[in-house]
Amino acid sequence: MKSASDVEASWTKFLNPESLKQNLLQGGLYLAAFEMLKDSLVGRPRDFFCFEISNGDIVTDLSSPEYEREVRSLHKHPFTASALWWHKSGAISDEDLDTLRRIREHRDQIAHNMPKMIGTADHSIDLNLLVQTNDILAKIDNWWIQNVEAGIDPEQYEKFSQEEMDAACSMSALFLSMMIPLVSGDDSQFRTLYAMWCEHQQKTPG
């Protein structure tokens, strides 16, 4: 049974408009970040093994024997099977695998218990896991660019230095790297960008 001080702290957390908005933003971004991670983690190997060209059209065959053998056979759950495929490919570490498990578990907690996460003092959005979500997304996207996309179309990437390739990231990872400080309470980057934009607009004729 919760103590009176715990109940009081929960009501304070829930009724404070500023903390409520911040918690809603954090929860919403965590759920969005997880979907972005899943799109790359699950989607990239699935599309690689399942897409084919038939009569000039792109066809998706989710029953592809190669996809079943290389990815789906690793685990019954597509998310975990895909994570194991990335691990087997050398893109992520043992530690990353464990982090992915915790990221998914926390996502389920938020998705199924949002009122508890934003309205009780003993629950909160784990911002460290949000940062790690983006770290792993950036890691697997960069690995994909360097090991798959550059391998398929080397002429497209040969103009870039290795330093530039190492820094390459997806738009999803770039988006999250900008959003995470904002929901953590640091809006300085956006204030700077907004000031630069307003200055640019004032200088633009018309």
DSSP label of 60? E
pLDDT on residue 102: 98
Number of domains in the chain: 1
Domain that includes residue 92, residue range: 4-203
Phi, psi of 15, deg, nearest 5: -85, -15
Distances (CA, A) of 77 to 26, 42, 126: 27, 10, 24
pLDDT on residue 2: 64
d(CA 200, CA 198) in angstroms, rounded, equals 5
pLDDT on residue 117: 84
Structural contact between residues 106 and 30, judged by C-beta atoms closer than 8 angstroms: yes
DSSP label of 73? G
Diameter of the chain by CA atoms? Answer: 69
d(CA 105, CA 167) in angstroms, rounded, equals 29
pLDDT on residue 121: 80
* 7-21 pLDDT tens trace: 777 777 777 788 888
Tokens of residue 190, six digits:
């956006």
**pLDDT-flagged residues of the chain (< 70):** 1-2, 4, 6, 53-59, 206
What burial class does residue 72 get, using C-beta atoms within 10 Å of its C-beta: 0-12 exposed, 13-18 middle, 19+ buried?
Answer: buried
Beta carbons within 8 Å of 19's beta carbon, 6+ residues apart: 13
d(CA 151, CA 140) in angstroms, rounded, equals 15
